[in-house]
Amino acid sequence: MTNTADVKRIMEAALLCAQQPMAVSDLRRLFADEVDVGPDTVRALLETLRLEWQGRGVELVPLASGWRFQTAPDIARFIERLSPERPPRYSRAVLETLAIIAYRQPATRGDIEEIRGVTVSAQIIKTLEDRGWIEVIGHKDVVGRPALFATTRQFLDDLGLRTLRELPALDADLPVAEAIGQRVIEFSTDATAPMSPAIDLESLAHAALSPDIFPDVSSATHPDKPEPPADP
C-alpha cells in the first residue's frame, strides 16, 4: 500500500482504534516497513480527515499530545447516558486551585494559598496530580525550595485543547451563571475513550474570574508557561 488513499485509510483506522491521542511521529511509524511518509504528508492528510468528519457525530481534533477522534460537543450529553456510573464531582476548592495553576503557572502552594486566602490541603494537590492535570516542574529558588506546579498535556487533552493559549481569556464581562461557591465541575472517568472535552471551559474561566482569586483580571488573561512543541 503506497498511494495516498491507502495511507489516509490506515491513518483513519489507527486514529479510530487508538486509546490515546496520536502524534504525527506515531502515525508515521505505521508505515515504517512500507513507505516513507513524511510529516508534511501526514499533517495534510490529518487536515483532510478533519474536514471530512466535520458535522458528524464524531470529530477529529488536534490536542496537546496529538490527534484523536472524539464525540461532537453537541451530542456528548446523549452519549453520556450510555454510562451507568456518574462521573466524579469536584469541589469549589479543587476547581479554584486548578484555575489558579492553569492561569498563573508555575505556582507554588504558597502562591495558591495567598490568592485563595485559605490553606491548600494536600488532598487537593493529590487529587489534581492523580488525575494527571498538574505536575511539579521544578522548585522555587527561595528558602525551603517549594515545588512549582504547572498543568500537563493530559490537562489540555481533557479540555480538548492544543495549547495553553486556547484557554478562555479572562474577560471581566463574562457572565457568571452561578455563584462560584456553588459551582462544581464534572469530569469523565475514562480519559482514554473518544469523548467531548472533559472540562467545562466556561466554568474554569468563571472560577478564575472570582474577585477573590484574581482581583486584577487584566493581569490574568493567559499563562506564560512555554508551550510544548506541537506534533511531537
Kindly report, residue by residue over 42-65, the tens digit of the pLDDT: 999 999 999 999 999 999 999 988
How far, in Å, CA of 146 to CA of 115, rounded? 16
Do 150 and 103 meet the contact criterion of CB atoms below 8 Å apart? no
With respect to CATH, is domain 4-82 assigned 1.10.3720.10?
no
Looking at residue 196, what is its pLDDT?
Answer: 37
> How far, in Å, CA of 82 to CA of 218, rounded?
42
The span from the CA of 192 to the CA of 31, in Å, is: 24
Which cell numbers hold the place of 159? 479540555
How confident is the model at residue 84, as a pLDDT? 66
Q: For residue 20, what is its C-alpha cell?
A: 490515546
- Single-letter code of the amino acid located at 232: P
Pick from 161, 117, 116, 109: which is nearest to 134 by CA? 109
CB 180 within 8 A of CB 159: no
Number of C-alpha atoms within 13 angstroms, CB side, residue 170?
Answer: 24
- 53 near 150, Cβ under 8 Å? no
* Separation CA 145–CA 185 (nearest Å): 32
How far the first Cα of the chain sits from its last, in Å, is 25
Look up residue 95 and give its three cell numbers: 476547581
Q: Is the pTM of this model over 0.85?
A: no
- Looking at residue 215, its pLDDT comes to 39
Residue-level pLDDT at 190 = 36
Supply the pLDDT for residue 161.
Answer: 81
Nearest CA among 150, 125, 146 for reference residue 137: 150
CA distance 209 to 100: 10
Query: Which parts of the chain register pLDDT below 70?
Result: 1-2, 84-88, 168-232
Taking phi first (over 0 means left), then psi (-120 to 50 degrees means alpha), and beta for anything else, what does residue 231 get? left
What is the Cα–Cα distance from 110 to 215, expressed in whole angstroms? 17
Predicted confidence at residue 193, as pLDDT, reads 36
- Longest CA span, the chain: 61
Q: Within 13 Å, how many C-alpha atoms sit on residue 89's CB side?
A: 7
Q: Is 110 helix (H, G, I), strand (E, B) or coil?
A: helix
Q: Given 1.10.3730.10, 1.10.10.10, 3.40.50.300, 3.40.50.10860, which CATH number is that of 89-219? A: 1.10.10.10
Domain ranges in the chain with CATH number 1.10.10.10 = 4-82, 89-219
pLDDT of residue 199: 46
Q: What local confidence, expressed as pLDDT, does residue 42 receive?
A: 94
